[in-house]
């Protein structure tokens, strides 16, 4: 659950402790008519204070009290914190003094800290510790939290003060960061409906509450399918082709599911993808594939199609209320792309060469299948299996061979080393802070040179019941120095499948890339060096936030990381140089598949939200759109519509899944700066990266920040080359808006 500051990207809340207590007085009266002793009254015992409302205590500027959390605490804590925050907002709005930056915008930056703490832990439970009891709280509180947000953005007296500060001649005397903050407050309040009339505001609030409830139901339905549906393997014959590490993981999953003697493929990508890659049993591959791609699309109580239709209708209505043609136009107005048309232009430019590459990949697989005597037509459940065979035949590269050198713990050490080289960070594991699950571990981050404390990094690596699938980064606390220096707390969360007890967890090359990707988000947060919490860390536009994370993926394949940290799990020997060379040679292998499955999701997302208020049947729309695009029959969307949590679990990536591609244009171009300077660890380029990208948060326009780092705007040429799509005559263009330098606000 995002805090309010993330929802409208302006409000970070601040401190007052309110405890909700209920005193229960038991009076014991004697029933004897002969007694003259007065009734005995027991001493009332006050209820324990709600720990979620307390200021975080302990080392490192305070840490979340995970060891004190109980699900019944959440509802009263949220309600008390919302009431406190509204009181703080009313005090700001009704201040008799003339509005100034200090008594209005800085006051808002200080307001609502209690709610921010509560919502942080609430969000962690929602994504990592979810169960039916917690889901009841989510369903009740989602619309209440949405209504609360609207009470702030629709507060007319408050907006008048924000507007006055924004339009004041005094704004010119503010620092650039303060001017940026003023622009963000004003812009986001307007975009949230602050200028609408009373009737429109009321309807907007109804829409937001309805959407909040639908997002919750959508997410819970996907989680239910991921939790309840598994593929059970009952014999050695059904394990044919599976490497030992995957067999061990499946056996461990079966033990967790109370199925001793069996093997279980769980309904998550980290479990299904390896099975599709290695299983020799085609009929079982099809079962696993259908189980995974049909999450949220199986009919019954967990089907998401009706919910999607309702979400799209409400989003379209909200966009029109706010004065935009479609939800997509509203979402992209302040993104780097600026308009849906520009995002679509980039996607379509990459789509055509990617589809062409898929045709070549399928031809190779079909030929190999025929050579092996398999009289089949390549289907989606065959793609990974035969792609792996082609990889081995063409490049003498077996991903299972590579996996022997990719130990989760060693790669984590490698990430720490890269962070030290690029950003001067040092990581030391600590055990003096509470965690919400035994799997979670914590590291203190310091500056290598002066030993100064930078922040904390929590790592929650493994899949479990109640944890949503995928990988992500969280910020538990944002860096700021408004009144005092507040350091950040960040986390990385993954869903690796545990293997046999006592043995290292081995992961695939793709999973290793994802590990570095999410760590890039964490480093973005840890590097933050700003004054105001609303502008801190990763609080940047959606099509820029993936840039630092995608950039860090490049360092996984550097010789310095591979030779030192990619060591064999049994012998401890570093990965052989000839294997590294084969990895490099196959760097763009299967890129058609990877790009098309992603772009299909991004294009369907955008076209769903450009469709306006037409009533949409999600399955039919998805099928028709893919047909019109010329989607290869052998590939399915990376995230099919009924399970597309990025888009329908919140507003987060709605009409914004294209962001990964947009950011990758920046990524490929930015890595070129290191290459041109002589290598990925060039100190001068790394310093520019930290100064202009990683540390500035949202204090400057991202296009300006990129130009300060690179000396020019990015081009698509580097992206096309990175993906192996660059051919003679390929046209390139700038990826950031022309004339992107923003006037001082």
Please state, in angstroms and rounded to a whole number, the distance separating the CA atoms of residues 512 and 463.
16
Mean pLDDT of the chain: 91
Question: pLDDT tens digits, residue range 369-405?
Answer: 999 999 999 999 999 999 999 999 999 999 889 999 9
Check pLDDT > 70 for residue 32. no
The reply to whether 479 falls in a domain is yes
What's CA 636's distance to the chain center, in Å?
Answer: 22
Q: Provide the whole-model pTM.
A: 0.90
- Here the tokens at position 305 are 């199609």
Give the model's confidence band at 728: pLDDT under 50 very low, under 70 low, under 90 confident, else very high: low
Could you please report the per-residue DSSP string of 111-126? TBHHHHHHHHHHHHHH
Question: pLDDT tens digits, residue range 578-632?
Answer: 999 999 999 999 999 999 999 999 999 999 999 999 999 999 999 999 999 999 9
- Domain range for 132: 71-195
List, in order, residues 6 or more apart from 689 with CB less than 8 Å away. 422, 670, 709
442 and 519 together in one domain = yes
For the ranges 210-224, 291-305, 640-654, 710-724, the lowest mean pLDDT is seen at 710-724
Range 627-630 contact pairs with CB under 8 angstroms and sequence separation of 24 or more: 629/351, 629/600, 629/603, 630/355
397 and 430 together in one domain = no
489 and 544 together in one domain = yes
167 and 131 together in one domain = yes
614 SS3 class: coil
The reply to whether 739 falls in a domain is no
557 and 597 together in one domain = no
- Here the tokens at position 134 are 């917690």
714 and 640 together in one domain = yes
CATH of the domain at 548: 1.10.1370.40
**Is residue 142 exposed (0-12), middle (13-18) or buried (19+ Cβ within 10 Å)?**
buried
Please state, in angstroms and rounded to a whole number, the distance separating the CA atoms of residues 214 and 305.
11
Closest CA to 145 of 112, 103, 185: 112
91 SS3 class: helix
481 and 359 together in one domain = no
**Mean pLDDT within 212-232:** 97
The reply to whether 696 falls in a domain is yes
Check residue 45 and give its pLDDT: 52
Number of domains in the chain: 4
The b/e string for 333-366 (b: 16+ C-beta within 10 A; e otherwise) is ebbbbbebebbbebbebbbebbbebbeebbebbb
Closest CA to 111 of 541, 533, 478: 533
Which of residues 136, 170, 195 is at a domain's end? 195
Which of residues 544, 572, 600 is at a domain's end? 572
In angstroms, the Cα distances linking 382 to 270, 377, 511 are 17, 9, 20
- E strand intervals along 431-496: 441-447, 453-462, 472-477, 488-496
**Is residue 151 exposed (0-12), middle (13-18) or buried (19+ Cβ within 10 Å)?**
middle
Question: pLDDT tens digits, residue range 431-487?
Answer: 999 999 999 999 999 999 999 999 999 999 999 999 998 999 999 999 999 999 999
- Here the tokens at position 84 are 């406190």
Give 329's Cβ-side CA count (13 Å radius).
14
Q: Is the dihedral of CA 367, 372, 373, 379 positive or negative?
A: negative
Judge whether 543 and 658 are in contact, CB under 8 Å: yes
532 and 661 together in one domain = no
The reply to whether 282 falls in a domain is yes
422 and 562 together in one domain = yes
Please state, in angstroms and rounded to a whole number, the distance separating the CA atoms of residues 361 and 632.
11
In angstroms, the Cα distances linking 528 to 309, 632, 730 are 39, 42, 38
In angstroms, the Cα distances linking 459 to 9, 424, 437, 524 are 25, 20, 11, 16
- Distance linking the first and last C-alpha atoms of the chain: 31
464 SS3 class: coil
Check residue 501 and give its pLDDT: 85
Please state, in angstroms and rounded to a whole number, the distance separating the CA atoms of residues 519 and 552.
8
Query: Which of 226, 388, 421, 518 is flagged as catalytic?
Result: 518
- Here the tokens at position 204 are 């907007």
423 SS3 class: helix
Check residue 726 and give its pLDDT: 78
The reply to whether 577 falls in a domain is no
Give the model's confidence band at 499: pLDDT under 50 very low, under 70 low, under 90 confident, else very high: confident
361 and 423 together in one domain = no
Residue 518 annotated among the catalytic residues of the structure: yes
425 and 550 together in one domain = yes
CATH of the domain at 706: 1.10.1370.10
Judge whether 680 and 669 are in contact, CB under 8 Å: no
The reply to whether 145 falls in a domain is yes
Question: pLDDT tens digits, residue range 80-120?
Answer: 999 999 999 999 999 999 999 999 999 999 999 999 999 99
Closest CA to 545 of 445, 398, 423, 659: 659
The reply to whether 744 falls in a domain is no
418 and 537 together in one domain = yes
DSSP state of 731: -
The reply to whether 317 falls in a domain is no
Which of residues 195, 216, 244 is at a domain's end? 195
In angstroms, the Cα distances linking 149 to 73, 111, 612 are 21, 13, 25
Q: Which pairing describes strands 425-430 and 40-41: parallel, antiparallel, or unpaired?
A: unpaired
């Amino acid at each position: 659950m995002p805090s309010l500051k993330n929802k409208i990207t302006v409000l970070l809340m601040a401190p007052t402790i309110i405890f909700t207590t209920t005193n229960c007085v038991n009076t014991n009266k004697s029933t004897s008519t002969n007694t003259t002793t007065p009734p005995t009254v027991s001493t009332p015992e006050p209820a324990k204070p709600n720990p979620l409302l307390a200021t975080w205590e302990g080392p490192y500027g305070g840490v979340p009290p995970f060891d004190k959390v109980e699900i019944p605490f959440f509802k009263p804590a949220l309600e008390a914190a919302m009431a406190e925050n509204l009181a703080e907002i009313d005090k700001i709005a009704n201040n008799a003094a003339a509005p100034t930056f200090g008594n209005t915008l800085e006051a808002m930056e200080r307001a609502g800290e209690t709610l921010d703490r509560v919502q942080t832990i609430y969000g962690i439970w929602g994504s990592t510790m979810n169960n039916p009891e917690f889901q009841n709280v989510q369903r009740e509180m989602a619309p209440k939290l949405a209504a609360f947000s609207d009470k702030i953005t629709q507060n007319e007296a408050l907006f008048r003060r924000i507007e006055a500060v924004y339009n004041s001649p005094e704004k010119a005397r503010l620092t650039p960061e303060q001017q940026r903050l003023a622009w963000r407050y004003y812009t986001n309040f307007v975009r949230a409906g602050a200028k609408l009339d009373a009737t429109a505001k009321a309807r907007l609030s109804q829409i937001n509450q309805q959407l909040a409830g639908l997002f919750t139901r959508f997410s819970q339905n996907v989680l239910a399918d991921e939790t309840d549906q598994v593929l059970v393997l009952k014999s050695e014959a059904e394990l044919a082709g599976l490497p030992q590490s995957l067999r061990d993981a499946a056996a461990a999953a079966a033990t967790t599911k109370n199925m001793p003697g069996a093997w279980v493929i769980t309904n998550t990508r980290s479990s299904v993808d390896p099975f599709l890659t290695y299983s020799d049993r085609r009929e079982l591959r099809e079962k696993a594939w259908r189980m995974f791609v049909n999450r949220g699309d199986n009919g019954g109580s967990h089907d998401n199609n009706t919910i999607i239709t309702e979400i799209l209708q409400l989003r379209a209505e909200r966009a029109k209320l706010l004065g935009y043609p479609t939800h997509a136009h509203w979402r992209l107005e302040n993104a780097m792309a600026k308009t849906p048309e520009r995002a679509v232009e980039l996607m379509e430019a990459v789509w055509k060469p990617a589809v062409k590459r898929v045709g070549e990949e399928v031809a190779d697989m079909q030929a190999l299948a025929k050579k092996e005597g398999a009289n089949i037509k390549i289907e989606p459940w065959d793609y990974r299996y035969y792609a792996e065979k082609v990889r081995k035949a063409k490049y003498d590269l077996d991903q299972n061979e590579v996996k022997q050198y990719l130990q989760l713990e060693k790669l984590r050490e490698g990430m720490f080393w890269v962070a030290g080289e690029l950003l001067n960070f040092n990581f030391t594991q600590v055990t003096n802070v509470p965690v919400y699950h035994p799997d979670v571990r914590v590291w203190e981050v310091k500056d290598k040179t002066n030993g100064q404390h930078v922040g904390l990094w929590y790592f929650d690596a493994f899949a479990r019941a109640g944890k949503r699938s995928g990988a992500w980064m969280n910020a538990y606390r944002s860096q700021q120095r408004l009144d005092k220096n507040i350091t950040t707390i960040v986390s990385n969360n993954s869903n690796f499948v545990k293997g046999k007890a006592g043995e290292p967890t081995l992961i695939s090359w793709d999973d290793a890339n994802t590990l570095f990707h999410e760590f890039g988000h964490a480093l973005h947060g840890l590097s933050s060096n700003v004054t105001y919490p609303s502008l801190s860390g990763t609080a940047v536009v959606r099509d820029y936030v993936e840039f630092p994370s995608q950039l860090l993926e490049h360092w996984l394949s550097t010789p310095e990381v591979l030779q030192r940290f990619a060591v064999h799990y049994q012998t401890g020997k570093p990965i052989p140089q000839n294997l590294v060379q084969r990895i490099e040679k196959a760097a763009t292998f299967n890129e058609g598949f990877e790009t098309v499955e992603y772009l299909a999701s991004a294009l369907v997302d955008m076209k769903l939200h450009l469709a306006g208020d037409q009533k949409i049947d999600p399955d039919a729309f998805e099928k028709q759109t893919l047909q019109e695009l010329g989607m290869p029959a052998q590939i399915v969307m990376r995230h099919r519509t009924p399970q597309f949590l990025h888009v329908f679990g919140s507003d987060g990536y709605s009409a914004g899944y294209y962001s990964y591609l947009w950011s990758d244009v920046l990524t490929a171009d930015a890595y070129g700066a290191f290459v041109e300077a002589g290598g990925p660890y060039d100190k001068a380029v790394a310093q520019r990266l930290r100064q202009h990208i990683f540390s500035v948060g949202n204090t400057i326009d991202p296009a300006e920040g990129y130009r300060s780092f690179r000396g020019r705007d990015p081009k698509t040429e580097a992206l096309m080359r990175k993906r192996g799509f660059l051919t003679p005559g390929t046209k390139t263009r700038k990826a950031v808006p022309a004339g992107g330098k923003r006037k001082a606000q």
